[in-house]
Structure 1
Amino acid sequence: MIRILLADDQHLVRAGLRMLCDSAPDMEVVGEAENGREAERLAEQVHPDVVVMDLNMPGVDGISATGRILAQRPSTRVLVLTTFGDDDHLYPALTAGACGFLLKDAAPTELLDGIRKAAAGESPFSQAVLQRLVRRAVQAREVTPAPVRGLTARERDVLRLVGEGFTNAEIAERLHIGITTVKTHITALMAKTDSPNRVRLALVAGTAEL
């Protein structure tokens, strides 16, 4: 069971998120916070696996709360869920230690999938956000990718689509292969490119010649 703490200053948003999470058989909402300070306090009390964190909250904001929660409980996963997908919010949140970044216009299934990925140690990102990360890395030349050698033609196809921000299901549909096959290719790609997670793999894809 994935233990979830919701942090958002809007009661209706929290209520909707609770209903969504409670509808999933593998999730349990163990607390709700309306600001960053309350999120810090509850994280110490209820020990969540995943904190679904808004960024713009009164008092202590979500970015500050993320850093403080992870300083006390580094095993906790903080998944940002926000209206704002601009760089002024994205990069400070990632620097604070957030493991993923989803926008509030995400589909309910995308959010539930993102929470599961966060709990499993992965880094869920909205497609538009991931694409911007790749573009910025390429433009700023901040990423020096591992040499991409020994890839099969299919692995190159999968890598290219990962770099464009597509999910496993979308990749499977586009390439007419099974999701399990996509996962197998991604595991192989991570090993071949020395990428510890999907975000790093996407950055490699964005700077490699495929």
Structure 2
Amino acid sequence: MVTTVFVADDHPLLLHGLTDLIARDPDFLVVGSAQDGTAAMAMIQRDIPDVAVLDISMPGLSGLDIAAEIARQGLATLCVLLTVGASQAQLYDAVAVGVAGIVFKETAVEALLRCLHRVAAGGRWLPAEIVGEAVQNEASRRTRWQELSSRLTKREMEIARLVVANKPTGQIAFDIGISKGTLKIHMNNIYRKLEVASRAQLSQLAAGQIGLSAGSGFPDQSGLENPAGDA
């Protein structure tokens, strides 16, 4: 049975190369392609391909955004993400939304085809030596944020959110209607409660987490595999 595949990448030459590579394999049928995430999402919703190969970073919607939306809508399309150098947070989120595969662009093109064959057969292609470590590290950071941020008052959380948004100190004081001196007191309390020593450390700890509840779940790592070990 032929597996239908949709491909999205914002680099035209790479997009053409990927579609040509996949189309040459008789087990796959490329049913569409796009150079931006918004167009890709619309076409996936319309055609419901078996597999969507998505650049993790694209204009409009990222591949990660699309994978999350596909999961939210309960579409049957399985997602394979392409990346040059995804952050630990991106890899964590990818596993959390249930992507079927992650392929690094610097690997041999054969790796993508092997990944697609694995995914089409109902498996996953998530290199444990990279994804596993990222998920563990990111889970630890998020757990630490959830535990420490529960110490913050509502006002302190508001200030922390503005710090993570990279607002200047003077702007933060103006936005919430307090003096710079009062803000400094709040900042010292925030640093103490979060066990950090600077705005940079606060931002690193809280990145992507402000507004998430302590009950947020962590992705299941049991399916992480080592594709390199396959025959």
Please list every run of 5 or more consecutive structure 1 residues that lacks an aligned counterpart in the other structure: 147-161, 170-210
Deviation at residue 50 of structure 1 after TM alignment: 0.4
Identity of aligned residues (%): 28
TM-score (normalised: structure 1)? 0.63
Q: Which aligned runs of 4 or more in structure 1 are off by greater than 6 angstroms?
A: 137-146
Asked whether the equivalents of residues 82 and 105 of structure 2 are also in contact (C-alpha less than 8 Å), the reply is yes
> Which residues of 2 match residues 1-210 of structure 1 at below 5 A?
1-126=2-127, 128-130=129-131, 132-133=133-134, 136=137, 166-169=228-231
| Cα distance change on mapping 1:81 and 1:130 into 2, 3 Å | same
Q: Quote the Cα distance in structure 1 between the aligned partners of 2:133 and 2:44.
A: 31
Q: Quote the Cα distance in structure 1 between the aligned partners of 2:4 and 2:229.
A: 24
Asked whether the equivalents of residues 64 and 96 of structure 1 are also in contact (C-alpha less than 8 Å), the reply is no
Q: Quote the Cα distance in structure 2 between the aligned partners of 1:129 and 1:61.
A: 21
Please list every run of 5 or more consecutive structure 2 residues that lacks an aligned counterpart in the other structure: 144-217
Deviation at residue 166 of structure 1 after TM alignment: 3.6
- Mark the structure with the bigger radius of gyration: 2
Paired residue total: 154
Q: Quote the Cα distance in structure 2 between the aligned partners of 1:45 and 1:165.
A: 32
SS at match of 2:90: helix
Asked whether the equivalents of residues 84 and 106 of structure 2 are also in contact (C-alpha less than 8 Å), the reply is yes
Q: Quote the Cα distance in structure 2 between the aligned partners of 1:13 and 1:143.
A: 30
SS at match of 2:81: strand
TM-score (normalised: structure 2)? 0.57
